[in-house]
Copies of this chain bind each other. A is one copy, B any other.
Amino acid sequence: MAADRVPELTSKALALLKADADKIYKLIDVQMENLTMPSCPLYEEVLDTQMFGLSRAIEFAVRLGVVEEATGREILDHLERKLATLHEMFDQDQKS
């Protein structure tokens, strides 16, 4: 442990968080693809839980000082926009 130097830790932290965000991104993608299937549930709770977990990890990284607050915010904002698109698609699908 602690063999990494600080600049390495900051890029490692960012890589870990981005990988986590990417997993959620893919979860949302799968949801979008399956919207046309009959009676496909929207895994809102699963997505919300994953988002909350990621936000806590990002918050910790920011407090630790290895990730900039703006960068952390950007990762979450990006996912939230994607999630909003999913909800719009879901609403339209329900209406049709």
State the interface size on chain A (CB cutoff 8 A): 27
Nearest B residue (CB) for A1 = B65
Q: Quick check: A10 and B2 within 8 Å, CB to CB?
A: yes
Highest count of chain B CB atoms <10 Å: which of A6, A49, A60: A60
Would you call A16 and B60 a contact (CB within 8 A)?
yes
Q: Which of B7, B12, B49, B53 contacts A64 (CB 8 A)?
A: B12
Please measure, in the bound complex, the distance between the C-alpha atom of A16 and the C-alpha atom of B56, giving whole angstroms. 12
Flag A23-60 by CB within 8 Å of B: 1 or 0 each: 00000000000000000000000000100111011011
Binding site for B on A (CB under 8 A): 1-7, 9-10, 12-13, 16-17, 49, 52-54, 56-57, 59-61, 63-66, 68
